[in-house]
Amino acid sequence: MNFVQRTFGPRARRSLGQLGQTPLSWPKNLLDPSYAKMVLDAVAEEEYVLRWAPIRVSSPDGTQVIEILFSSDALKIGGIRVNVSATIQQQIADAIGALLPTPKIMDLAWLVRPTTLRPVLLPIAATSDSMIQASQLLDKAIVGLDSPPGILVSQKTWAIGNSLAIHKGRAMNYGDFVIPNQPNHFYSGIATEACVSFPTKPQLGRVIQGQGWAHDIAHLDYSQIAWFVHRSCTVNGSVRDLGAVLTDAKLAPLLSHEGPLQLLRQPGVPPFACKVVLPKVAGVGDASASTFQPSAYGLCPLPPPPEGAPWATEPPMAVSAAGIVASAAVGLAAGYAFIRWMSGK
């Protein structure tokens, strides 16, 4: 399969075409409380489109291999990539069994992209017009690139990391990946910042928005869209809770430039909803007795993997990016990527 694709819920299965194409009547001002309610109601009713694509990451010595599921495109409702505040994005994550990505996970997704999308740069606005315009411009660009399979990283997201404990009351945004095309790492006249995972290798990419804490958890604008990483992952082939991985001293550095995380949700956001939990999934330790307690981090219990999760259906195709060379951004014929993080940045 090209993607791990799941159409969530009976209503979505019945009307995927309509959900993907029919515009909704969004409020003009996205800061209107009715907008957040509209988005979360759609998520609760499973009326959204989200596809998962696998990324595989290994330790430098190859002894630890983690497979995660990342959004192949930002979450869409009514055919539009919805704009989200950190609050809305976190509550969506709660409801779908996901986490907000770390900046390093965003870097991983960028490195395995099948093609490079130019960032959509518009005047900052929090209106439905700007949201729709930005999403449609991205759709047009993707079609123009023959709609390649793989993770098509675009715009910015709200991310999690230990820095949120320092920047209290703030949210962290990160993204707008580019390849610098002018001296001093500028991109078309715009200053860029180093990616957290390879700060000394600008040839691999930079971000217009480096880790930023200027906004509170209610801020949203046209550039902030919803990227997620599913909480069900594997470590050396065994199913694990991504929360356990991100808090493990040995494994977390493969997915977090800060090392083990002390928090796994956006601080200050109340839980929204939990999916019904079926199986018991272990943490990083003994498969029969996990010491990881999701509730200690404000997380819902771990839901089952999405239908068609790659580790449950077919062997992965590994594409090496040893040493994080420029060829890391390769086409993903089967939707897979394999990154081996070498020592040194």
| Angstrom distance (rounded) from CA 272 to CA 275 | 10
Query: Do 70 and 148 meet the contact criterion of CB atoms below 8 Å apart?
Result: no
Write out the two tokens for 246: 């991100």
CB atoms within 10 A of CB 296: 10
Per-residue pLDDT tens, the chain, 345 aa: give them.
223 333 333 344 433 434 445 678 999 999 999 999 999 999 999 999 999 999 999 999 999 999 999 999 999 999 999 999 999 999 999 999 999 999 999 999 999 999 999 999 999 999 999 999 999 999 999 999 998 999 999 999 999 999 999 999 999 999 999 999 999 999 999 999 999 999 999 999 999 999 999 999 999 999 999 999 999 999 999 999 999 999 999 999 999 999 999 999 999 999 888 876 555 554 554 443 468 999 999 999 888 888 778 765 544 434 333 333 222 222 222 234 445 443 334
Question: Looking at residue 225, what DSSP letter applies?
Answer: B
pTM, full prediction: 0.85
pLDDT tens digit string along 325-336? Answer: 222 222 222 234
**Residue among 51, 10, 66 at smallest CA distance from 250:** 66
Residue 265, phi then psi, degrees to nearest 5: -135, 160
Distances in Å between the alpha carbon of 340 and those of 55, 152, 316, 325, 344? 11, 20, 15, 11, 12
pLDDT of 96 reads: 94
Do the Cβ atoms of 243 and 275 come closer than 8 Å? no
Q: Tell me which DSSP letter residue 239 carries.
A: E
CB atoms within 10 A of CB 141: 16
pLDDT of residue 22: 63
Tens of pLDDT, residues 14-40: 334 344 456 789 999 999 999 999 999
Are 161 and 261 a contacting pair, CB within 8 Å?
Answer: yes
For residue 336, the model assigns a pLDDT of 42
CB 119 within 8 A of CB 138: no
According to the model, what pLDDT value does residue 14 have?
Answer: 37
